[in-house]
Amino acid sequence: MLKKFRADLHIHTCLSPCADLEMTPYAIIRNAFEKEIDIIAITDHNSAENIVAAKKAAEKTEITVFAGMEITSSEEAHIIALFSDVQSVIKLQDIVYENLLPGINDEKLFGEQIVVNEKDEVLDFNKRLLIGATTLSAHEVLQIIHSLGGLAIASHIDREAFSIVSQLGFIPDDLRFDALEISPNTEKAAAELQFDMYRQFTWVTSSDAHDIRDIGKRTTGFTMKQPTIEEMRQALKNTDGRKSEWE
């Protein structure tokens, strides 16, 4: 039987230097529960080290946590990767860490990068320059995400920085995103006017939450059998009765 799921597919934790320190996996799950969100994706910049904690924090709830990451390509375009399982995102993380520009995070300048467990206990401070870019081109990032079985979404294409559109000026035909994301800054009608040339893509909208109050600010509805990446792939393609809707 098909069911409708409310999803916010772009949420940062305290591992992202730019995110609020209150964005612990436990707090995110509690807030998503209060807001009746069915699926969330944890999408920290160039890292997935808080995903296990978020999945554990959600164990006693009905919330599904997708294992995600927001990768910065060599063109400084942000690309969301989504998986159902932790293993795949850890494989992606290994590749991203190998290709991340060298450097140490300046906590005073960019913020702390905190790895925590499901009880909000601090496990580690990630020292890598997660805010920086990788040496992987957008084409390479998509190829890697797809080879690992994930979905690739172009982040906030309406933003004037760090989006595929802002960095390249357009979306090349051979960049096969599974969806394009519009940020909460742009209403649907305005996006339809501005991005009419990208109607061939499926669009989603997500919060890109960096603090608690923004979680669920935007959600996309998915009609599908169960909350998995495979079902979501079908919903994004509008096949077999599955569908996605910008709410």
In the complex with Zn ion, the residue whose CB is nearer, 70 or 118, is 70
Q: Name the one range near Zn ion by CB under 5 A: 31-39, 154-162, 171-179, 198-206.
A: 154-162
Confirm or reject binding of residue 155 to Zn ion (CB under 5 A): yes
Q: Which of residues 7-46 bind Zn ion (CB under 5 A)?
A: none
The closest of 180, 232, 224 to 202, measured between CA atoms, is 180
In angstroms, give the least distance from the CB of 22 to Zn ion: 17
H helix intervals, 79-129: 86-99, 107-110
Residue from 71, 77, 78, 195 in contact with Zn ion (CB under 5 A): 78
In the complex with Zn ion, the residue whose CB is nearer, 73 or 234, is 73
In the complex with Zn ion, the residue whose CB is nearer, 57 or 71, is 71
In angstroms, give the least distance from the CB of 239 to Zn ion: 28
Q: Which residue is nearest to Zn ion (CB)?
A: 78
Adjacent-strand bridge partners of 66:
41
Q: Name the one range near Zn ion by CB under 5 A: 70-78, 128-136, 139-147, 228-236.
A: 70-78
In the complex with Zn ion, the residue whose CB is nearer, 78 or 128, is 78
Q: Which of residues 92-151 bind Zn ion (CB under 5 A)?
A: none
DSSP state of 196: G
Q: Please provide residue 93's backbone torsions phi and psi, each rounded to the nearest 5 degrees.
A: -60, -40
Burial class (CB in 10 A: 0-12, 13-18, 19+), 87: exposed
Residue from 8, 20, 70, 118 in contact with Zn ion (CB under 5 A): 70
In the complex with Zn ion, the residue whose CB is nearer, 45 or 243, is 45
Burial class (CB in 10 A: 0-12, 13-18, 19+), 181: buried
In the complex with Zn ion, the residue whose CB is nearer, 56 or 159, is 159
Tokens in use for 188? 């649907």
Confirm or reject binding of residue 218 to Zn ion (CB under 5 A): no
Query: Taking the CA atoms of the chain, what radius of gyration do you get in angstroms?
Result: 17
**Residue indicated by tokens 């096949």:** 239
Size of the site for Zn ion (CB under 5 A): 4
Q: Which residues have a Cβ under 8 Å from the Cβ of 44 and sit 6 or more positions away?
A: 12, 13, 15, 16, 19, 50, 69, 70, 130
Residue from 208, 231, 232, 236 in contact with Zn ion (CB under 5 A): 208
Contacts with Zn ion by CB under 5 A lie at: 70, 78, 155, 208
